[in-house]
């Protein structure tokens, strides 16, 4: 059974619906690829999915360790290759200047992030450059 449905709306725009919640997302092709750039591009979603997955898995670890991870932020940079056009590198910087955790707990959080399902699902040819300022 499907968990997401997708629809092409024309003009290089798609709409996806999460069936359980009814939430929807739109994508547009980016301006450098003949699109409007008025929404996330599909490759933007890949990068956001990696960051979100890492934060979610870190959140699970934080709950087990009794750490409040609220306020964790990420800055994501996507680097595209041109021939063939694909994501060459995803750079993510995680920061939480007020994190109350021991060095051992911080290392557990970093390890958790690096083993999230999205990170493990992306191909070896896609460089993941992850930095932690926690």
Domain coverage including residue 53: 42-133
19 with 52, same domain: the answer is no
Reported as a single tens digit per residue, the pLDDT across 46-104 is 999 999 999 999 999 999 999 999 999 999 999 999 999 999 999 999 999 999 999 99
- Sign of the Cα torsion 59, 126, 35, 3 reads negative
- If asked whether residues 124 and 82 sit together in one domain, one would say yes
Residues 70, 113 share a domain? yes
Report the C-alpha gap between 134 and 126 in whole angstroms: 25
pTM for this model (two decimals): 0.94
Q: Are residues 111 and 62 in the same domain?
A: yes
Of the pLDDT bands very low, low, confident and very high (cuts 50, 70, 90), residue 16 is very high
Q: Within this chain, do residues 109 and 63 fall inside the same structural domain, yes or no?
A: yes
Assess whether 57 and 119 both reside in one domain.
yes
Average pLDDT of every residue of the chain: 96
| Same-domain status, 17 and 61 | no
CA-to-CA distance for 22 and 12, rounded, in angstroms?
22
Asked if the model's pLDDT at residue 25 lies above 90, the reply is yes
Higher pLDDT, 114 or 32: 114
- What pLDDT sits at residue 9? 97
The pLDDT of residue 133? 97
Residues 28, 53: one domain?
no
Q: Are residues 90 and 117 in the same domain?
A: yes
Q: Are residues 70 and 125 in the same domain?
A: yes
Structural domains counted in the chain = 2
Is the per-residue pLDDT at 1 higher than 90? Answer: no
Please tell me whether residues 27 and 72 are part of one structural domain.
no
pLDDT of residue 22: 97
Asked if 96 contacts 105 with a C-beta cutoff of 8 angstroms, the reply is: no
CATH number (domain holding residue 106): 3.30.300.20
Judge if 27 and 46 occupy the same domain.
no
């Amino acid at each position: 059974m499907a968990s997401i449905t997708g629809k092409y709306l024309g003009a290089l725009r798609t709409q996806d619906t999460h069936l359980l919640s009814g939430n929807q997302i739109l994508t547009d092709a980016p301006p450098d690829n003949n699109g409007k750039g008025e929404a996330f591009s599909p490759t933007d979603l890949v990068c956001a999915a990696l960051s979100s997955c890492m934060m979610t898995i870190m959140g699970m670890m934080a709950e087990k360790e009794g750490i409040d991870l609220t306020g964790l932020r990420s800055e994501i940079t996507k680097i595209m290759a041109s021939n063939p056009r694909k994501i060459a590198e995803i750079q993510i910087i995680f920061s939480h200047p007020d994190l109350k955790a021991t060095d051992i707990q911080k290392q557990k959080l970093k390890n958790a992030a690096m083993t999230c399902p999205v990170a493990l699902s992306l191909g070896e040819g896609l460089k993941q450059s992850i930095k932690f300022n926690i």
